[in-house]
Structures are given as structure tokens and as C-alpha cells.
Amino acid sequence: MTLVRAAAAEAIGTALLLAIVVGSGIMGERLAQGNAAVALLANSLATGAGLYALIVMLGPVSGAHFNPVVSGVSACEGRLTASHFCVYVLAQVCGAFAGVVAVHAMFGLPLLQVSAHVRPTPGEGLGEVIATFGLVLVISLTLRFRVEAIPVTVVAFITSAYWFTSSTSFANPAVTFARAMTDTFAGISPSSVPLFVGGQVLGAAAAALFARWLLGGKLVTLPDDENFPC
């Protein structure tokens, strides 16, 4: 039952995260009247605020990963078993697609869509490497030294990465796959998904290795007096 609850938390958390990302993108674009900077500002602020609430709310239940690469790093470092990892990823992917469908229903759009927003450049792929490297590094080191600060540090990095990366910082394979199914402001063409996901996996692996080297070869583990699941 503990795993069932954790999976439910990952599913609903990822669904709400996608609802926030895609829904605020649609609303921002409509209200910005063609001003892409204003639309992106609305999108990034809404994402940051919503993500903070989700991490604080669901972190004690599942660790609030909402991201297969975060779960993958946790599994590699022994904080998540292989079976838990598989369940987490399934919950995250299913939740992500459910969140997109819910947004389409809210805004009166076709429930099933395919994005036409092509993001094909190597620079955008590099943006995903850097965004995911930064995200995983923030989580790994904050988890080791300031676990209580994880919600703030993660949100601060993701909100800033919306603006300093060429890809607007997806940094999440489940989010990337789901955003391929929305032809709205937040969408990404299915043809661009492999470039983004490849960059995300590369960035996460590099960050995990760098964090371990930085800590003198030790795995990133929780302080003895903390019980925050990860």
C-alpha cells in the first residue's frame, strides 16, 4: 500500500504539473495578445508557483519526483528500488498525459492533439542537457546538505531555466512526451522529442556523476536525522 500511495502521489502530481504548464501557456498566450515574452513570463511564474506547492504537498508521500530522470538517479544511488522506479515512471507518464487531456477539456480544445511546434536545433538539445544537468545537480546537492530547502531551490532553478535555456527547460522526459500531445503554446513536435529526451538523459547522468565526484565518491544520501523520501 505504501508503493500504491507513492505511485498515486506521482501520478496526480505529474498530472497537475502538466495542467499548470500547458494551461498557463494557453492562458498566457491568449491574454498576451501576441507578446511572446509576456506569455513566457506567465508560463514560468505559474509553473514555479505550482511546482513549489506540489513538492511541499506530495514530497512526504513519494519524494515528489514527477520526473523519470530524477527517479532514475534515485534508483542508481540506491534510494529507490528497481521495481519502485518502474512504477514511478509509469505513474509519471500516465499522469502527464492525463494532465494534458484535462487542460484540453478545460479550454474547450480537441482532447487528442499532436504538436506542430518543431524544436529541431542542436542548441535546443544542448539547452536540455544544461537544464537537466542543473536540475539534477540542484536536487542531489540540496538533498545532501539542505534537504528542507529542496522545494525552493528546485523552483528557483526551473523558473530561471525557462529564461536562460534555448529550449525553455523541459528537463523531464514525461513532460516532453506529454507536451508532444498538445498543439498549444507549450507543445513540442514528436519529431523533436528524441533530441530533447536524449539531452535530458545525458544531462542527468552527467550531473549524478559530477555530484558523486564532488562529494569525494560518496553516494548522495540523506542526513541521518531526515526522513524525506526521495
CA 186 centroid distance within chain: 13
pLDDT score recorded for residue 216:
86
Integer Cα distance of 152 and 87 in angstroms: 27
pLDDT score recorded for residue 226:
40
pLDDT score recorded for residue 23:
98
Closest CA to 229 of 169, 124, 147, 164: 147
Closest CA to 71 of 53, 90, 55, 54: 90
pTM higher than the cut 0.85:
yes
Tens digit of each residue's pLDDT, the chain (230 residues): 699 999 999 999 999 999 999 999 999 999 999 999 999 999 999 999 999 999 999 999 999 999 999 999 999 999 999 999 999 999 999 999 999 999 999 999 999 999 999 988 899 999 999 999 999 999 999 999 999 999 999 999 999 999 999 999 999 999 999 999 999 999 999 999 999 999 999 999 999 999 999 998 766 665 443 434 44
pLDDT score recorded for residue 120:
83
Grid cell for residue 201? 538523459
pLDDT score recorded for residue 190:
96
Burial 102-130 (b: 16+ CB within 10 A, else e): bbbeeeebeeebebeeebeeeebbbbbbb
pLDDT score recorded for residue 25:
97
Domains of the chain: 2-214 (1.20.1080.10)
